[in-house]
Amino acid sequence: MKCSLTIICDDSLATGFELAGIRAIGVTDAKSVQEKVQEQLTSTQWNVVVLDSELEGRLSDHIKERMQESQMPLFVVIPIRAHTREDGDRVDIRKFVERLIQDAIGKKIVIPV
């Protein structure tokens, strides 16, 4: 069984991921985010879909719920680039990923800079 990785991100970042050999779907507005996530939800392939956390806010509650319930494809929401949250704090991507892994495996890890 073969599994693939797809990244849904801002259109300006998609080319960089493609150059690195990662399938990327670039989106430009809320409508295209909804459409592309919906397409992935109906996919029958074994796939991990990484969604930029900045784009998650553009999704309807129904789509977010379907993403959480989906076992395949598996959706992972992470910040792809540093940005400021609504509360004004800056997102540290390295710490975010460390916490995500710790929650998943129950062990604290440190990602070297």
> Do 36 and 76 fall into the same domain?
yes
CA distance 105 to 65: 23
> Do 62 and 49 fall into the same domain?
yes
Q: pTM for this structure?
A: 0.74
Range of the domain at 14: 4-81
- Write down the pLDDT at residue 107: 74
List phi, psi (to 5°) of 66: -65, -40
How many other CB atoms sit within 10 Å of the CB of residue 49?
A: 24
> Do 69 and 88 fall into the same domain?
no
What's the CATH number where 46 sits? 3.40.50.10580
Which among 1, 20, 9 has a CA at the least distance from the CA of 77?
9
Mean pLDDT by 10 residues, the chain (113 residues): 83 90 93 95 86 90 92 84 63 71 72 62
